[in-house]
């Protein structure tokens, strides 16, 4: 199995050494190249698990301007694009490899207190959490559902070795089960489950694959 777990979040506007926008380059393109280069090592029954995020709801991918050359940069918009790309990559990989009995899925691990948020200003992070707590109170909920690191790893492990392959192949998983599609005209609370349909669109997944090949200069 491969669990693609590397990631950055809400970074300042900067580029990788290959001149890709940092979040798209790190979270998606780095995994795209590495996974495809070692995919031949996966045996029948193998799986790819892409660690995505509910942050995919911030934005669909933008294949016309992936490096923010024309779009005003926003750290969470960029994060959302990269996390949507993680899901779409799983969709396309699953489509290509299922005939070899190799499946792929994307997972949302939950919100865990790790160093992922190290690029965020502490005051901005506190303001964001205060806003979330107020929203939760308005919904009648008591506190934000932080996960421990083992709890955060659970869905990745479940998708990699426990869940039935046919159930999770090409899908988005959260809390150790399949995530349900929520229409874009329906609001989703930050603490609620659900995946946007654009992140599971097979046509968008194929377009992202081709764009990614073009960007990295390799064909898989």
Give, in order, the Cα–Cα distances in Å from 114 to each of 17, 46, 82.
25, 28, 19
Residue 79 is among the residues annotated as catalytic for this protein: yes
Best CA proximity match to 29, nearest among 15, 46, 44, 10: 15
Identify the residue whose tokens are 């349900």: 180
Element (H, E) at 136: helix 122-138
The answer to whether 3 touches 155, Cβ cutoff 8 Å, is no
Best CA proximity match to 5, nearest among 51, 53, 66: 51
What whole-number distance in Å separates Cα of residue 157 and Cα of residue 153? 6
Q: Which of 73, 79, 172, 198 is catalytic?
A: 79
For the annotated catalytic residues, the residue numbers are: 79
């Amino acid at each position: 199995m491969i669990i693609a777990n590397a990631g950055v979040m809400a970074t300042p506007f900067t580029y990788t050494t290959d001149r890709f926008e940092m979040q798209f380059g790190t979270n998606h393109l780095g995994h795209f190249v590495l996974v495809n280069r070692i995919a031949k090592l996966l045996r029948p029954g193998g799986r790819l698990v892409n660690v995505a995020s509910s942050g995919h709801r911030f934005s669909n991918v933008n294949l016309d301007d992936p490096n923010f050359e024309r779009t005003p940069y926003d750290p969470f918009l960029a994060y959302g694009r990269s996390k949507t790309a993680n899901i779409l990559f799983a969709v396309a990989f699953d489509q290509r490899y299922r005939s070899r009995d190799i499946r792929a899925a994307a997972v949302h691990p939950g919100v865990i207190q790790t160093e992922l948020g190290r690029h965020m200003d502490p005051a901005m992070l506190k303001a964001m959490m205060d806003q979330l707590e107020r929203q939760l109170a308005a919904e009648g909920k008591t506190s934000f559902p932080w996960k421990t690191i083992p709890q955060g790893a659970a869905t990745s492990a479940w998708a990699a070795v426990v869940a039935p392959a046919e159930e999770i192949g090409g899908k988005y998983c959260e809390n150790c089960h399949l995530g349900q599609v929520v229409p874009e005209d329906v609001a989703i609370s930050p603490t609620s489950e659900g995946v946007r349909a654009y992140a599971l669109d097979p046509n968008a997944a194929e377009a992202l694959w081709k764009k990614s090949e073009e960007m990295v200069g390799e064909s898989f």
